[in-house]
Structures are given as structure tokens and as C-alpha cells.
Amino acid sequence: MPAFNFKPQYLPPAEIHSRLLKLAALFLSLNAAMLSLAPVARSRSWDLSLLRWSHWGGLALWLLAAWLAQRQFTRHTPDADPYLLPIAALLAGWGMLSIWRLSNGFGLRQAAWLTVSMTVFLTGLRTPLNLDILRRYKYLILTSGLLLTALTLFFGTNPGGAGPRLWLGCCGLYLQPSEPLKLLLIIYLAAYFASRLPIRTHLLPLLFPTLLLTGLALTILLIQRDLGTASIFIFLYAAIVYLASAKRRLLGISLGLLAAAALTGYFTIDLIRLRIDAWLNPWADPSGNSYQIIQSILAVASGGIDGRGLGMGAPGLVPVAQSDFIFTTISEEFGLLGTFALFILLAILIVRGFIIAIRAGSNFRRLLAAGIATYFGAQSILIIGGNLRLLPLTGVTLPFVSYGGSSLLTSFLALLILTQVSSELEAEPISLPQPGPYLHIAALLCIGLAAGTLANGWWAIWRADDLLARTDNPRRSIADRFVPRGSLLDRQNQAITITQGEAGHFTRLTLAPDLSPLIGYTHPIYGQAGLEQSLDPYLRGLQGLPALDIWWEHLLYGQPPAGLNVRLSLDLGIQAAADRLLGKHAGAIVLVNARSGEILASASHPTYNANLLDNLGETLTNAPGSPLVNRAMQVLYPSTAAVTPLFLAEYGTTSLTNAEQVQLFEKLRFYHTPDLRLPASPASPAGKTEPGLSPMQMSVAAAALSNAGLCPALQLVMAVDIPGQGWVVLPPDGRPEQCLDQQGVIELLKGIPGPFWQFTSQSKVGSGGAVTWLIGGTRPGWQGTPLGVVILLEEDAPGLAQSLGMDLLEAAIK
């Protein structure tokens, strides 16, 4: 490739122009192909009927415009800067395809505006428009711009319906006068200062007319609440005054004024306070005021380094992605690799602009070119910084890229002026006594872009994993629709909860709805709960599979692989019996295998049906009886009387010293939260006499009585089905330990007739309420599987508890 041949050789500008445009055309064509293919790839099939075609029309218009631009360049402006248009055209085409990816309608409109803008640009280059006309009529130009902008105060509309009324509209066409106003302000300031260079008089009389007009513009913008454009105005004004006067003090004063204005705005204007609060602490209100910025950085995190590929991400989740958040869209689908290139292109554009300024033949052209380069740079940094939470969010556009006719046309008009200045370069530029300000502003803008790159890397690499794991990341729910989630099975591999439907429409179904407090749910709006939450890494395929598989799926689809099935220790038959027995009584039942610690049944009533979450939704949170709570794990009940059989077994007496009680409770692990990979309420603090106990904690003691004083380690999640390896056992957390005196246990239970033993007790709760505990199990020496059972009823009903216990144990041994 000759471009990489470093031997100095003469490369005419037309050749550079042509090469860059060809590469841009190739890049955009590849993107168009990607966009066509994306729906097919998303469906994970070869269903070619899904291919998208409409955006090729936009690309054709782009190619035609590029071809005309190349012809024009060779014939009419062979000395112009050959980098400006190819970069702008690449950015505009990239933006157009990204917009098309979000919405065909917006894409079509953007293509139409791009055609208009390119036509204006090319016609402008052919017409030898003398830039000095702009200089002569500077007041007229700025005043008409101000008038147009002021008209929006009275006749303003918003094409989107709601929101700030910044547009003038007629017959389906909308103009946002504040966009061209930026360019008009630059022309006015450049013309004004060029005629007063070198500046030797007092600054205030010199600045007065410009301050008046800029202040007027700012007032209109502030009334319109167009804060982004107002910030750009202040920055442009400060930059041009600094360029013209070379007084560093002025730059400092302007920055101070900007900060003071922001502070004043913070305390007086609600909108500014909201924006700044959302910027400083977005996590405080992620679904309200900070929704946009949180969704934006989630999209950046989803893009990562390599990006999801055009059409493969979910950038549409960010509100107004096509205009204010187009950078986020590009960041998600092209990744840090894409945005890094974008940053370099913007930097080249800015630096070329300043080179043109320094080589310009008159002060007016010099200030004009530098002002336009500053405008490109400052506006890009403001919106990219806003998207990346580097700066407060403002609603300005990314030049050339964002959706919007006024913005695109203004950008191309600015480019036209810059190109004209570059093609009129004289052999000897006019002298520049103080080049410092030009270097400073250019360096400042490049530093801004570098900061943008760093912020982008911060979200896309460093913080990506944490961000993507957030439950308010909607990409997880989208993945759930496209990737089958693992099933939950009982100990005989009977399905408890499954995924049904076909790719793109997967839904979750619980076959044992009464188990919902334990199983929980995974829902796009309500998030996750229960085992669905705690086993999410396995069910979602992010744990247990080879890292390479996970990486490959992520590379192709940005989604995890198919989830793994998980086997639980529950027995659906016994579980159904437990649920039937508990019925309408509020309380919990836990039945364990006393030897292995495997939980065979765990019921919590009142229960709810996770399949109906769409309809029940919010009402569940405040429903009477708190059905969402898993009473077996998440509630600690008073246990004063319930523990007396344990005292008897261990010490042979019920009157124990506090130290003896604490020692026994420690052995029975009453001060520890059972680790069952389930949400649980924290256990009572160590050393507390009369600790509150969950039925699950108590079931260990019941198991110990049935198992000659040996406390098993409880286990609910048994094994996970890994492709290629089969069922891989997940061992319980802990080992069986002797926690009650063996002889004492035998002594305690020997007088009880029948195969089962049971103790009931009542504890008072609050004012008038009571709970009933039942602990029971199989007699020592029982030939079958030893069982331990705990029944808790939120009422004073020992008789009911006893009959439930007997029925359940009878059902379990069948």
C-alpha cells in the first residue's frame, strides 16, 4: 500500500481525498451489509426473509454524493484541505447508518438531510462566494439569526410532541434556529475582532458590542432552557475572544463566569439542578432522573472493547438514542475500538482546522477557521462527555453524526467555510504575533477528546462487569428471551420451573406454583428473587461452562450461552403434600432427610403464583400476609418454649444457665444463617439467649433428634448438569457434627409410642398473637430414611400442628 511507504513522495491532495473517500465508502458498505444481516444473526438462523434492505438506499445517496465530491475536488478546489470532507462524510454516513439501525423512518429523513447538506456543500464550493460578504454583513447575519431564534419563543414547536419547543416548523419540515445561530455567532465574532486587531485599547469598550449580542443570544437560549447550546455559546465566545486578544486572563474570567453561571443556575433553575444532581450521583435515582445517563453507560459497558456489531446491540433502550445519544449507540455496537477511531477522526478534524487557521491569509479567515474548529471540538466533547458521565448531560448534537437536519446542515455549512478558507491559502500567511492561544485551544480540545477516550474505557472495560450485572440492565431480560434459561428440577429430575417457547420468545413457567416463595422469579420488570436469583449464574450459563464457550457466545451475540439445569433436593410428591396440608394457614413447613441434610420439602404460606407476576405485579408487595416472603428462611420466629426438648436431650434438665444455653445454641448453629444458596434473613447475634429462629434453622435440630444427636449439613441445591460432564454434584456447605448428646436423645425419645416423635410449643408474639412450633421426626432406630420435620403456624393451634405433622410424615414414608 503506497500510503505506508514512508519514502517522501509527492501526494497530490486530490489523491489523498480520493483514497480516504474510497476507504470511507468501503467501511460504510461493510456496515450496511452488517445491518442487513443482523436480524438473521439475532434469530440464530439462516432465515433470509429477515434481511433488512432499506438502508442501502441511504448508502447509495451517500456514494453518489461522495463521487460528486471527489469530481468537484479534482476540478474546482484542488488546493483545498483533502482531509476535511472525507472525515465529515465518514462521520455523517456512520451516523446515518446508526440512525437507520434504530429506526427506518429517522434513517430515511437523515439520508434526505444528508443529501440536502452535501448538495449545499458542493454547490457552495463551486460558487466562488466571497467570504468577505459574510464579513461585511456581520450584524445583519447575527441579528437575523437572533430574530429566528427569538421566534421560537412565540411559535416554537417540538417535532417529537413533548419537550422543549426549540423548533420552527412548517409543512412537516422543522428548523432549530439555535443550530445555525452558533455558526452565525462565530462569523460575527470573527468579523468583529478581525477589524480591531491588534487589540491595544481597553478591553471593556472593545468587548461591549459583542457582550451585548452574545448576552442577548444567551438570554433567549436560557429562556428556552436550551442549556447545551448556551454552554457552547459561552465557550465559543471565550475561545474567540482569547484567540483574538491572546489575554489568558480572559479565558480564566470566562471559565469563572461559566462556573458561576452553573452554580447560580443550580440554585435557581430546577432543570439545571436536576441535570447536575443526576450527573453527580446518578445511582441515587437510576429509574427516574438519572435513567438516561445510567442506560447510556450500561450501553457503553455492553459494547465493551469489540462492540456488539451494528444491529446486534440494544442501543434503542436509551431514550432519544438517535440524536443526543448517538455516541452511545456507536459505543455499544462498535465498542471502544470504534469510538477510539471516532475520537482520532475528531482530533484530526480539529487539528486540521487549526492548521488552516494558522496558515490563513487574513485575520478574519483565521478567526473564522479557528472558531469553526472550536465549535466542532467543543460540541463533540460536550455531548460525548454527557453520554459518558464526564460532564453534565445537555441536549446538543454530535456534529455530522447525530440525527437532525438543522444540525447536519449547519455542520456542513461550517465545513464549507473551513474548506473555502483552506483553498484560498496564500503562500505567506498573515503574521501571527502570538500563536499561543491557537495552540492552547487546540490542545485543550484534544485533551478533552483524550479524557473522553479514558472515560469510555473506564465504563467499557473497568466497570463493565459490575454494570452489566445490574438488575436494571434490560439486556439481561432481552437475553432471557433469546437464550434458553436452565430448568430447575426436583430430586427425581421432574421439572419444577422451565423455559418454554422458541428463540426470541422464551418465557419462564413454574410447574409448581405453590413453591414460588422458595423458587422466586426472574422478570423483566420486577427483577429476580429466590433460587432464580441465587442460582442465576448457573441458570444463565455464566457459571459452570468453559470460559471459552462463554466468551465465544458473548463475542457473537453479546449474550450468555444456554443456561444449565439445576437439580434440587426437593421431592415434588412430598412437597405437594406439604403444600396441601398447610393450605390456607399462614406458616411454614420444612422436611429434611435427617442423615444427609437434604431438604425434601419446604413450604411457605400464604404463597403466590410466579406465573401470574405480570398481572399481580405491584399488588404482591403490599398484599396481606406478605406472600413474597419465604417464611422457612426469611423470618425469625420466637422459640422460647420450642427449644426445651433440646435442653432435655443435651443436659437432662430445662433449667439451664445462660452460658449453657448459648453453648448449646452455638453447637446447633442457631447463630448462623444456613447457607443454602437462598436469600435468608441474618441469624440472631451470637450469644443471645432466646434467639429468634427460622424454621429452616430449627429443622437442623429436628434432624439431630431423629439422627442420634448428629446435626447434618443442610442441602437444597444438589447438582448442575454441565454438557459433556453430566451431573456435577455441588457439595453441601459444612459437614455433619455431633451437636446433641447421643444418650440424651435416646433417653428423651424412648417413651414415645409409634414410629414418629413430635413436640409442640407455643410462643407469644407482640400483643395477643402467638406462633405454634412443631418439631418431629422418625424414632431412633427407624429402618427407613430418618426424617426431621418442622412446622410453624402463625396462630395458636398445637392440635392442628400435630395432625399436620403426622400426616406429613405418613405421606413422606410412603
Partner 1 sequence: MSAVLLLGLRILAAVVLYGFVGSALSMLWLSLRQQSTLVSNRKVIPLTLTIQTDDVPTRVLKFTETTEIVIGRDPDCECLLEDSTISARHARLTFHHNQWWLEDLQSTNGTRLNDEMLGTATIVVSADQIRCGQTTLTVNLETNGVAHG
Q: Which residues are near partner 1 by CB under 8 A?
A: 3-4, 6, 8-11, 16, 19-20, 23-24, 26-27, 30-31, 33-34, 37-38, 40-41, 44-46, 83, 86-87, 90, 306-307, 309-310, 312, 334, 337-338, 341, 344-345, 348, 555-557
Handedness of CA 201, 205, 207, 210 (dihedral sign): negative
Looking at the Cβ atoms of 94 and 106, the one nearer to partner 1 is 94
Supply the minimum distance, in Å, between the C-beta of residue 30 and partner 1.
Answer: 4
Looking at the Cβ atoms of 27 and 647, the one nearer to partner 1 is 27
Supply the minimum distance, in Å, between the C-beta of residue 351 and partner 1.
Answer: 9
* Residue 100 near residue 106, CB atoms below 8 Å: yes
* Residue 187 near residue 134, CB atoms below 8 Å: yes
Looking at the Cβ atoms of 23 and 271, the one nearer to partner 1 is 23
Looking at the Cβ atoms of 133 and 427, the one nearer to partner 1 is 427
Supply the minimum distance, in Å, between the C-beta of residue 344 and partner 1.
Answer: 5
Q: Is 104 exposed, middle or buried (0-12, 13-18, 19+ CB in 10 A)?
A: middle
Looking at the Cβ atoms of 359 and 605, the one nearer to partner 1 is 359
Supply the minimum distance, in Å, between the C-beta of residue 473 and partner 1.
Answer: 21
Supply the minimum distance, in Å, between the C-beta of residue 7 and partner 1.
Answer: 9
Report the candidate in 673, 679, 681 with the shortest Cα–Cα distance to residue 532: 679
Three-state DSSP state, 785: coil
Supply the minimum distance, in Å, between the C-beta of residue 306 and partner 1.
Answer: 8
**Which segments of 7-130 does DSSP mark as H helices, in order?**
13-42, 55-76, 84-102, 104-126
CA distance 408 to 175: 11
Looking at the Cβ atoms of 335 and 744, the one nearer to partner 1 is 335
Q: Which set of grid coordinates corresponds to residue 435?
A: 500563536
Looking at the Cβ atoms of 1 and 729, the one nearer to partner 1 is 1
CA distances from 600 to 41, 534, 717 (A): 43, 19, 11
Within 13 A of 798's CA, how many CA atoms are on the CB side? 8
Looking at the Cβ atoms of 312 and 390, the one nearer to partner 1 is 312
Supply the minimum distance, in Å, between the C-beta of residue 10 and partner 1.
Answer: 7
CA distance 488 to 681: 23
Looking at the Cβ atoms of 147 and 555, the one nearer to partner 1 is 555
Supply the minimum distance, in Å, between the C-beta of residue 147 and partner 1.
Answer: 40
E strand residue ranges, 118-183: 168-170, 173-175
Handedness of CA 276, 278, 282, 285 (dihedral sign): positive
Supply the minimum distance, in Å, between the C-beta of residue 44 and partner 1.
Answer: 7
CA distance 591 to 786: 11
Looking at the Cβ atoms of 83 and 113, the one nearer to partner 1 is 83
Looking at the Cβ atoms of 306 and 549, the one nearer to partner 1 is 306
Handedness of CA 32, 33, 36, 42 (dihedral sign): negative
Supply the minimum distance, in Å, between the C-beta of residue 556 and partner 1.
Answer: 4
Looking at the Cβ atoms of 239 and 312, the one nearer to partner 1 is 312
Q: What are phi and psi of 367, to 5 degrees?
A: -65, -35
Supply the minimum distance, in Å, between the C-beta of residue 1 and partner 1.
Answer: 8
Q: Kindly compute the dihedral angle of the four CA atoms of residues 647, 652, 657, 658, in this order, to the nearest 10 degrees.
A: -20
Number of residues assigned to the chain = 814
Q: Which set of grid coordinates corresponds to residue 235?
A: 465557550
Q: Which set of grid coordinates corresponds to residue 800?
A: 392442628
- What HEC string does 525-582 produce? CCEECHHHHHCHHHHCCCCCCCHHHHHHHHHHHCCCCCCCEEEECCCHHHHHHHHHHH
Supply the minimum distance, in Å, between the C-beta of residue 568 and partner 1.
Answer: 33
